Amino acid sequence: MNSTNFFNPNGDDILNETLYGANPTGFVDFNRPKYKWSTNIYDLMNANTWFPSEVNTSAEKKAFEQLSDNEKEIYKLTFAQLSFNDSAQEEYLADFRRLATNKIVKSTLTLQMMQEVNHSKSYAVLLDAAGNSNEVFDLYKTNEALKRKNQRIADQFAKYIEGDSADGMLLSAMASVNLEGIYFLLGFSYIYVLGDKVPGARDMIKFISRDELNTHLPLFANIFKTLQKENKISASIIDKSYEMIQEAVDIELEYGKYLIDNYSIMGLREELITNTVHNYANDRLTKIGLDPIFPKTNTTYLQKLVDKHLSMNDVKQNFFETNVTNYAKNSIDFDDF
């Protein structure tokens, strides 16, 4: 490896370090960010660092054993899938980070990698407390629907990550928008539907969902928009972005339909799940500066459940009106990055 990867005195001025294709000096200077959103998100990620030990899982085994058979299967298959999402994302981020040439964005991606590992650890802690860790983590070996969803997500991740181009990087960012903004959400919803029946799982998902939706999704939404702004992204690449989110919707609805068809629990119906996923997909498209393409419906019950639990301690604050010590461990509104 060339030493300029570490120290490059002839590199670009720090304020000229673009997201892709720059010649960075090697220095990380948080006092001179090219993108204000990168330091905002980094600071929020850092301030909201949490650990699985903060969640009380002492009663999880008893709580799990009191669930109905269908609820137990929803619980296990949900955590089996969520644990894959975080494991895959941590590996993907390591590859995606190599494509970025802005040092602060790279630093923010590094912090996200730590958080994804923390999520994986949280699943291990929770499922160990519930007494079904090995069973859940091995479900992909025996459940074809779970295996198919995981494989389709992995295929979408792998398709563009090797591309050394702004186009390839943008489509790789789109894969992460799908992961953070589509593939997690029904899983979060299922645990919130169980709610007080599994307080350990519910509270662990509160922390994880806050990370995914308050920082990880905004990070990749801004990466997508910045790449589009700084590079000549062709219409065909934008068309592929639409194709990717359509595929993500299909993947999520296929698995969601499998769960409710086979393990029906109160309030979960196909129409509700379809409307929820379509609404989320439209919102993600809007966040990355593209037009919504899915049927629009009113905010669903499942969306309201997710929004409710994003508000830690029932407090919501605007990031731009509070300092770090005030917003730590609370849900933040990101109205505009």
Tokens of 19: 């997201």
Angle value at C-alpha 243, between 237 and 248, nearest 5 degrees: 130
CA atoms within 13 A on the CB side of 307: 9
Distance CA 326, CA 82 (A): 30
Distance CA 228, CA 252 (A): 26
- 214: closest CA among 117, 309, 92, 94? 309
> What backbone torsions phi and psi does residue 331 show, to the nearest 5 degrees?
-80, 140
> What backbone torsions phi and psi does residue 316 show, to the nearest 5 degrees?
-125, 135
Distance CA 251, CA 248 (A): 5
Torsion of CA 303, 272, 219, 55, to 10 degrees: 60
> Are residues 236 and 192 in contact, defined by beta-carbon separation less than 8 angstroms?
no
Distance CA 19, CA 216 (A): 17
Amino acid at 327: Y
Handedness of CA 126, 129, 130, 131 (dihedral sign): positive
Handedness of CA 271, 272, 277, 281 (dihedral sign): positive
Which one of 35, 42, 75, 123 is the catalytic residue? 123
Tokens of 291: 């037009």
Place of tokens 């905002």: 40
Distance CA 112, CA 107 (A): 9
123 is annotated as an active-site residue = yes
Torsion of CA 142, 145, 146, 148, to 10 degrees: 100
> Are residues 47 and 116 in contact, defined by beta-carbon separation less than 8 angstroms?
no
By annotation, the residues acting in catalysis are 123
